[in-house]
Amino acid sequence: MKRPGVRMVDVAALAGVSAGTASKALSNTGQLSQETRDRVRRAAATLGFTPDARGRALSSGRTYTVALLTTDSSGRFSIPIMRGVEDVLSAGELATVLCDTRDDPLREQTYLRSLVARGVDGIVVTGRRTEPRAPIDVPLPVVYALAASTDPADASVIVDDAAGATATITHLAGLGRTRIAHITGPSDHRSAAERAQAITPALCTEPLFGEWSERWGRQATDLVLRQHPDAITCGSDQIARGVCDRLRELGHSVPDDIAVTGYDNWPVMALASRPPLTTVDLRLEDLGRRAATLLLEAIDGKPHHGVLELPTQLITRESTLGT
């Protein structure tokens, strides 16, 4: 089972130098004449040489691989974050591998052992919830994304949920809405509690906590209508979609009678809703990019400490603006 891969010695032979010299030429290290470098480069190009990652890893200690460890089996959050991570890392020729722990601590341990054994250069840890999580114990650079580490000495990148929620209120107020209600998820979910807390002073009534579902959105609509709101800001796009559906069934016009906002900018919900939802985009790709940048710096020996909050972006659509 021997692959006929072209090796460094082949390149070196063609260029008329030794393997060590060829290595230096291709990695821009050592003291070599420009002419030699070019000759080796041409030889490498001619042969289509790609250095074997196994040998390189063993020799240099670097694998040029980082792992994205996630508990988000659905991919709803981890996929956009991975995109961002890849954007940054692939520029540096690093590869990204996705490890889904399925929220199983045992599986997480297994993955970590495997990742350390493989010698990944660093790890980005993320999740499907924004609750801070216990740090992982590995002798490697780690950055936490979306869910911060409970250890403030670790580097974490999270979303500024309070600002995101506030942005919807500001937007609605700018449209002249004064009686704003809030329907959101379970009160023991940080993402619900934090957003609700940030905007409660601006509401005409207490936030309604329930679950992250369309059904809850529909049910809560009936409750909230007693307050005669002119706007309903929701804790998720799913809830907002349920609210829109229920309002339409009851004959209320969105946004003329009542404006509605969602949260998450989950395309399948926000765009399929009638009308499409004004919502808050979490900028997960930015999150991933930022996490990757911090990880690279940590790998480079310049670790960052503390929590970094990234801004969200308000996406305006017909559910507040009309057509």
Cα separation, 26 vs 314, whole angstroms: 46
Nearer to a copy of itself, 4 or 176 (CB): 4
Residue with tokens 């404006």: 259
Name which of residues 1 to 60 contact DNA (CB under 7 A). 5, 7-9, 16-21, 23-24, 26-27, 29-36, 49, 51-52, 54-56, 58-60
Q: What number of chain residues touch DNA (CB under 7 A)?
A: 31
HEC-encoded secondary structure of 69-123: EECCCCCCCHHHHHHHHHHHHHHCCCEEEEEECCCCHHHHHHHHHHHHHHCCCEE
Angle at alpha carbon of residue 222, lines to 219 and 227, rounded to 5°:
135
Nearer to DNA, 20 or 306 (CB): 20
The continuous run of DSSP H or E covering 181 comes out as strand 180-184
Which one of a copy of itself, DNA, none is in contact with 29 (Cβ closer than 5 to 8 A by kind)? DNA
Q: How far is CA 179 from the centre of its chain?
A: 34
CB of 231 to a copy of itself, least distance (A): 24
CB of 114 to a copy of itself, least distance (A): 6
Residue 110 has which token pair? 């297994």
Nearer to DNA, 31 or 323 (CB): 31
Residue 292 has which token pair? 């990757």
Which one of a copy of itself, DNA, none is in contact with 166 (Cβ closer than 5 to 8 A by kind)? none
Nearer to DNA, 50 or 323 (CB): 50
Which one of a copy of itself, DNA, none is in contact with 135 (Cβ closer than 5 to 8 A by kind)? none
Which one of DNA, a copy of itself, none is in contact with 27 (Cβ closer than 5 to 8 A by kind)? DNA
Residues that bind a copy of itself (CB under 8 A): 1-5, 50-55, 57-58, 61, 63, 65, 73-76, 79, 82-83, 86, 90, 95, 97-98, 100, 102, 110, 113-114, 116-119, 139, 213-215, 238, 245, 268-269, 272
Nearer to DNA, 20 or 152 (CB): 20
Which one of DNA, a copy of itself, none is in contact with 36 (Cβ closer than 5 to 8 A by kind)? DNA
Residue 223 has which token pair? 């409750």
CB of 291 to a copy of itself, least distance (A): 17
CB of 234 to a copy of itself, least distance (A): 15
Nearer to DNA, 49 or 266 (CB): 49
β-sheet bridge partners, residue 100: 70
74's torsion region: left (phi>0), alpha (psi -120 to 50) or beta? alpha
CB of 273 to DNA, least distance (A): 52
CB of 273 to a copy of itself, least distance (A): 10
Q: What is the DSSP pairing of strand 122-126 with strand 142-145?
A: parallel
* Residues 40 and 12: beta-carbon distance below 8 Å: yes
Cβ partners under 8 Å of residue 204, min gap 6: 178, 179, 180, 181, 227, 229
Cα separation, 32 vs 150, whole angstroms: 49
Nearer to a copy of itself, 117 or 134 (CB): 117
Which one of DNA, a copy of itself, none is in contact with 303 (Cβ closer than 5 to 8 A by kind)? none
Q: Which of 235, 238, 234, 177 is nearest to 202 (CA)?
A: 177
Nearer to DNA, 23 or 130 (CB): 23
Query: Is the sign of the CA dihedral 53, 58, 62, 68 positive or negative?
Result: positive
Binding residues for DNA, rule: CB under 7 A, are 5, 7-9, 16-21, 23-24, 26-27, 29-36, 49, 51-52, 54-56, 58-60
